[in-house]
Amino acid sequence: MSSSVNSSVDNCKTPNNITYQALSWLMAGEFILGLPLNLSVLYVFIFRFKFWKNNSIFLFNIVVADFLLVVCLPVEIYHYQHSLRHSDNRVVCKTMLFMLFLNRGASIAFLITLSLDRYFSVVHLGRKNCFKTFEKSPQISLFIWLLLLPLTIPTMVETFECCNSHGRKVETFYHDVTDTFREIIYFSQIIFPFFILVYCTCRIVKRLKRKTVGEKAKLRRAMFAVMSVVIVFSSCFLPSTIARAALLVVRLNNWEETELVAVQVYDGLMVLSYTDCLLDPIVYCFCNSGFKDAYISTFCPSFLQKKLLKSNSEVPNTPTTTTVTSGAKIACLPMLEKK
């Protein structure tokens, strides 16, 4: 490979400064919007909704993962502004990669866990749902976080240099095995959960369509809930994963000029994947109308509160309800258990 390509990719330099300046401003926008949004969601979950009383521990863990991701964005913005794909400081680079891998993995893990909970609650109604027990236990959430830690180890090994991977300076068998293991983890973290999510969603939608015609309003809200997870997952994680696969193909075939473009596409889609922290609150609202009511009554003006809360009351209640501490009315999300 030519020296120019090595200097632009191997040494962490951005192949096109204009592209990465634009991406840095996009990340700045994500940070400006994401920080207050996630802080407000954290506030509602802890002080107004009291997630531990409403069995919404999994949702709260997604909030924590999103918040930690938002906190990492200023470092990435700084690097892009200074024509670096990642920090040239080994400690800073690996710390950032560790945080991004961990937060991304946690967000995916808890989204999938929520989907499996909905799947068993709707498709296998009447059978014992172990996820209901899991969601009430903080120990299970802690176990999921600890389980994710070993999956971040590939980001800390010595062979990793600025997203360097297969086809790049593979000098020893150790390098080759390490790079292979890293890519297996990267892709399995997306592909397997995606198929699980699609399967659960299709089964849930099929089951809901067999319900009575008189429950159309409730069915729409339930289907919106499960579909919101699919949309967030597909729009945030799949594009960057496809771009990563394309980048590996380009590198393995030593297409030097194409690699410069593939790197920019991959980094650009990774930046777009950070919008996950802006879209997840939609999932919270669809999965738990109690949280939505608490958020509306906390941050929306009075005239909007009346209109939005009134629209919720038009959907008939089910026997399962949860009171929010904001003083709003008791509300229930049909077909999805109220957390």
Answer yes or no: is 204 within a domain.
yes
pLDDT in tens, 310-319: 655 554 444 3
- Cα–Cα distances in Å, from 100 out to 75, 94, 104, 150, 271? 12, 10, 6, 14, 11
Residue 162 and residue 93: Cα distance in Å, rounded?
8
In this predicted structure, the answer to whether residue 214 has a pLDDT above a threshold of 80 is no
For tokens 């309800």, name the residue: 321
CA 95 to chain centroid: 19
Backbone dihedral region for residue 105 (phi beyond 0: left; psi -120 to 50: alpha; all else: beta)? alpha
pLDDT of residue 119: 79
| pLDDT-wise least confident of 38-47, 151-160, 290-299 | 151-160
pLDDT of residue 319: 38
Q: For the chain, how many structural domains are there in total?
A: 1
Instruction: Please choose, from the candidates 59, 102, 46, 2, the residue with its C-alpha nearest in 3D space to the C-alpha of residue 287.
Output: 59
Cβ 112 vs Cβ 197: under 8 Å: yes
What are 84's strand-pairing partners? 13
Answer yes or no: is 325 within a domain.
no
Cβ 105 vs Cβ 189: under 8 Å: yes
Q: What is the pTM of this model?
A: 0.80
What are 322's strand-pairing partners? 331
Residue 73 and residue 27: Cα distance in Å, rounded?
7
Answer yes or no: is 293 within a domain.
yes
CATH number of domain containing 210: 1.20.1070.10
Answer yes or no: is 166 within a domain.
yes
Residue 162 and residue 280: Cα distance in Å, rounded?
28
In this predicted structure, the answer to whether residue 78 has a pLDDT above a threshold of 60 is yes
Instruction: Compute the mean pLDDT over every residue in the chain, rounded to the nearest whole number.
Output: 76
In this predicted structure, the answer to whether residue 333 has a pLDDT above a threshold of 50 is no
Cβ 69 vs Cβ 104: under 8 Å: yes
| pLDDT-wise least confident of 42-46, 52-56, 75-79, 276-280 | 52-56
Residue 243 and residue 80: Cα distance in Å, rounded?
19
Answer yes or no: is 63 within a domain.
yes
pLDDT in tens, 101-110: 888 888 888 8
- Residue ranges making up the domain that contains 291: 3-313
Answer yes or no: is 148 within a domain.
yes
Residue 96 and residue 85: Cα distance in Å, rounded?
12
pLDDT of residue 154: 64
Answer yes or no: is 334 within a domain.
no
For tokens 């632009």, name the residue: 8
Answer yes or no: is 183 within a domain.
yes
Cβ 264 vs Cβ 16: under 8 Å: yes
The mean pLDDT value for 159-166 works out to 52
Looking at residue 213, the DSSP 8-state letter turns out to be G
